[in-house]
Amino acid sequence: MNSLPPGPKGSLIMGVMREFNRDTLGFIERLHREYGDVVRSRFLYVHAYFLYNPADIEALLTTNAKSFRKAQSLRSPFFRRLVGNGLVTSEGDFWRRQRRLAQPAFHRQRISSYGDIMVQYADRAIAKWRDGEHRDVAKDMTRLTLEIVVKTLFNSDVSNDADHVGATLSQIVKPFASQATLKWIADNRLPTPGHYRYFNAVREIDKIIYRIIAERRASGSDEGDLLSMLLQAQDEDGSQMSDAQLRDEVMTLFLAGHETTALALSWSWYLLATHPDAETKFHAELDEVLGGRAPQVSDLPKLKFTEMIAKETMRLYPPAYAVGREAIEDTEMGGYRVPRGTQLFAFQWVTHRDPRFFERPDEFLPERWASESIQTLPRYAYFPFGGGPRQCIGNYFAMMEVVLLLATIGQRFSFSLLNEHPVEVLPVLSLRPKNGIKVKLLQRAGN
Ligand code: HEM
């Protein structure tokens, strides 16, 4: 019988909970340094393995995926109230059916038709920006990507609600920032003021989502978008999705589809603002390929450096910094025994910066994505979108959006960081800049 992996003892009752919560990113890096590629730890009574080796991550997400389901953290009632049984959280046959239904809305060809909306919405947003103005570019990107996901997938406009929705969604994420791991385990329906605000905020967003669904049911029109597909989908017995089921899918895409993309953009602006050489190359590419006109989907193959910026940003600041699973049967991992019920996590944050796979791992070097050595990278040394059957359904959508928005905005403006606001990383549900990214806008000459 194989042995269990090494790992820290932690405290008698809490296990490693306190250290994990105090400095999540520092802690997961330290465990890798001290114990190696497979580490065992404990949160209260829950055992968790941390996987740092691409081969093991591949087994978790792809080759041995049938031995696992999504991690327990996604099943907390607290999180469930938010996303219900949508694509990110559902399992088994139900998930397979929903994924099959949603897939056509995310095919490359279909996604291409969203390009114009992305550019148009970005143009509209920056039309109000002025040279020298101070802004929080993270907030701007969040608002913009929210408007885009709602318009493209549900053909609905939330421009009037966008600030409200944005603010409400921030309320929702707040409780996850404190005592993060406790949320995985405890039932969080305790009536604290924070929870009260949380459930209120979820109700607020529900109202907007039910409005979008009701509008579409009333109009009865087939917009050819995701919402129409979900509305028309029928089981063999002819039954259709209830409003509550539709709500779960819409809420899931609301959340999964805009926050992550906004973060990829925000961290890109941050890295460009702090790396003038890369910024110069970026501007040169935009000037050469676009020469001042709006980008189109057909420009994407030529915006190579811009795409490398997006990839390199998601290497250093992966918006999803971890993926988690639970073993549904006794199995093994990296030669170690994995008892059923174990939670297993892989961390983009650590593996993307592993010097075994990336030279000068902590440096922002977009050019590395054109190098020869990148061709031999193990598949799961870089996995910003996860992998296997549960791979991000929106990966092309996201890459296209990031590149088109970088190009649209980067033609007109560059950003200089306001020093009095240092940018700190906050690993909540996703990897956020703690106090936003406060910048001064600089209008580019001739634009
Ligand atoms: C830079 C942007 C994005 C990043 C980094 C990202 C990352 C991820 C990751 C890592 C997963 C896998 C989670 C797991 O295996 O447990 C995932 C799943 C998912 N993502 Fe994304 N995502 C992004 C953008 C989007 C967009 C734009 C959409 C939709 C419009 C989207 C919708 C989803 C959905 C529905 C799933 C669940 C898929 C399934 O299990 O069938 N994501 N995403």
Strand partners, 413: 443
Which amino acid appears at position 399 of this protein? M
Mean pLDDT of 222-243: 80
User: Best-predicted range by mean pLDDT among 24-33, 182-191, 427-436?
Assistant: 24-33
Q: DSSP letter string over 71-136?
A: -GGGGSHHHHHHHTTSTTT--HHHHHHHHHHHGGGGSHHHHHTTHHHHHHHHHHHHTT--TT-EEE
pLDDT band at 437 (very low <50, low <70, confident <90, very high): very high
**Residue 332, phi then psi, degrees to nearest 5:** -140, 160
Q: Yes or no: say if 127 and 140 are a contact pair by the CB < 8 Å rule.
A: no
Atom of ligand 1 minimally distant from the CA of 153: 30
How many Cβ atoms sit within 10 Å of the Cβ of residue 99?
Answer: 15
pLDDT given at position 160: 67
To test ligand 1's pocket by mutation, which of 392, 430, 431 has the most ligand atoms within 8 angstroms of CB? Answer: 392
What single-letter DSSP state applies at residue 290?
H
Give pLDDT, residue 179: 47
Q: How far apart are the first and last CA of the chain?
A: 67
pLDDT at 56 over 70: yes
Closest CA to 184 of 10, 13, 343, 346: 343
3-state secondary structure of 196: helix
For residues 155 and 227, the answer to whether their CB atoms sit within 8 Å is: yes
Average pLDDT over residues 370-399: 96
Q: Which residue minimizes the CA distance to atom 18 of ligand 1? A: 392
How far, rounded to the nearest angstrom, does the alpha carbon of residue 78 sit from its chain's CA centroid?
Answer: 19
| pLDDT at res. 104 | 85
How large is the average pLDDT for residues 254-277? Answer: 94
Residues having CB closer than 6 A to ligand 1 are 70, 87-88, 99, 149, 252-253, 256-257, 260-261, 264, 319-320, 323, 384-386, 390, 392-394, 397-398
Report CA(402)–ligand 1 centroid distance (Å). Answer: 14
- Separation of 1 CA from ligand 1 center, angstroms? 37
Rg over CA atoms, the chain = 22
Residue 413, SS3 per DSSP:
strand
Res 420 pLDDT > 80: no
pLDDT at residue 171, as a whole number: 66
- Cβ partners under 8 Å of residue 231, min gap 6: 216, 217, 240, 241, 246
Residue nearest atom 6 of ligand 1, based on CA coordinates: 385
DSSP 412: H
User: Which residue has the CA at smallest separation from atom 19 of ligand 1?
Assistant: 392
DSSP summary character for residue 240: B
Q: Are 282 and 422 in contact (CB under 8 A)?
A: no
Cβ atoms of 248 and 175 within 8 Å: the answer is: no
DSSP letter (8 states) at residue 41 = E
Residue 65: pLDDT over 50? yes
| CA 268 to ligand 1 centroid distance, Å | 19
